[in-house]
A and B are shown apart, each in its own frame.
Chain A
C-alpha cells in the first residue's frame, strides 16, 4: 500500500525554517499567512501499513522533537489527493 508520512517540528519547539518562510511570504505580497512550519514528506510502499507507527517512532521521526502524521492511499483518495 502506498503511504505518506508527514513529519513536522513538535509544537512549542522553535522552528526557524518556518519562521523564515513566514517572513518571506509578505515580502512577496502574500499577506495574512500565519503559523508556517516546514517539515518533510516521506513516501513509501508498505506491505503492512499497521507497522507504520512503529517505523515512525523508531526511524522516520524523532518523537522527542518531531510529530508525524500517517496518510495511506485510501485516506488520501478520500481527500481527493492520490499519492503517485
Chain B
C-alpha cells in the first residue's frame, strides 16, 4: 500500500512521517498546492506549523488546494491520519469534530507521554490491545482538545500524563465513520528503538493491516 504525506509550507514532521510510513509500506510526499493525491491509499497530514500557524493553528492550511482532495478522499472512505498540526488542520477543515486550544500551562511541552488505547476496534488502533499503554512523545503549544459534543475517542493520556489540559484526557479522536483520525502525540517519532520507543509503529501497522490486504503492494 502507498501512503501520501501532505507537505505544507511550515510542515516540519513530514519527513519523519514519510520515513515511519515506509517501515510498513510505500510512501510519497504530496504538495499542498496540487489538487492531486497521486493514487495513494492513505493520507497523513503531518505535524509542524503550516502557514506559520497564522490566525489559528490549521486555519489557513485547511484552504490549501490539496485539502479539497483530502476532503473528497475522506468522504469516499479513505483513511486520513492527522498528527499534531495535522490534527489541528483536520479539525479546522471539519473532517474531525472539536478544536485544539492553547495548553493550559501556556507553555510548549515536549516530552514522552503514556497513552491508553481506549478503542482498539478502529482502522488506526487495531494492532493494539484494548487498554494497552503506548509511550509516544508530544511537542506542542496548542494541544488542549475541546469538543462540545461527545466524540469517538481512540487514545487518552494515561492518568497523570495529560500535558495540555485536554477535555477528559483526550489524546486522539476519530470521526463517526472511523476513517479519519487525529492525535496530538507523534507516533512517527516513536518507530525506532534508538529514540526510546517503537509504540508509534502500531498506528501505521494498523492502517497497513486495514488496507494492505486489499491493495497490491
Q: Which of B45-53, B98-106, B153-161 contacts A (4 or more CB under 8 A)?
A: B98-106
B56, B148, B165 — which one has the most chain A CB atoms within 10 A of its CB?
B56
What is the minimal beta-carbon distance from B148 to any residue of chain A, in angstroms?
A: 7
Considering only CB atoms and an 8 Å cut-off, how many residues of chain B contact the other chain? 17
**CB contact under 8 A between A59 and B55, given known A64-B148, A65-B146:** yes
- A-B contact count, CB below 8 Å? 29
Q: Does A17 contact B (CB under 8 A)?
A: yes
Q: What is the 8 Å Cβ interface bit string for chain B, positions 50-69, against chain A (1 contact, 0 not)?
A: 00000110010001000000
Q: Does B92 contact A (CB under 8 A)?
A: yes
What is the minimal beta-carbon distance from B94 to any residue of chain A, in angstroms?
A: 10
Considering only CB atoms and an 8 Å cut-off, how many residues of chain A contact the other chain? 10
Q: B59, B104, B148, B165: which contacts A62 (Cβ < 8 A)?
A: B59
Q: Which residues of B contact A65 (CB under 8 A)?
A: 99, 101, 146
Q: Which residues of B contact A60 (CB under 8 A)?
A: 55
Q: Are B99 and A64 in contact (CB under 8 A)?
A: yes
Q: Which residues of B contact A62 (CB under 8 A)?
A: 56, 59, 92, 99
Q: Are A16 and B99 in contact (CB under 8 A)?
A: no
Q: Which residues of B contact A17 (CB under 8 A)?
A: 102, 106
Instruction: Show 12 residue pairs from A and B whose CB-CB distance is below 8 angstroms, ordered by the A residue.
Output: A13-B101, A16-B103, A16-B104, A17-B106, A20-B106, A62-B56, A62-B59, A64-B99, A64-B147, A64-B148, A65-B101, A65-B146
Q: Which residues of A contact B (CB under 8 A)?
A: 13-14, 16-17, 20, 59-60, 62, 64-65
Q: Which residues of B contact A (CB under 8 A)?
A: 55-56, 59, 63, 92, 98-99, 101-106, 146-148, 165
In the A-B complex, the 5 residue pairs with the closest CB atoms: A65-B99, A64-B99, A16-B106, A16-B104, A62-B99
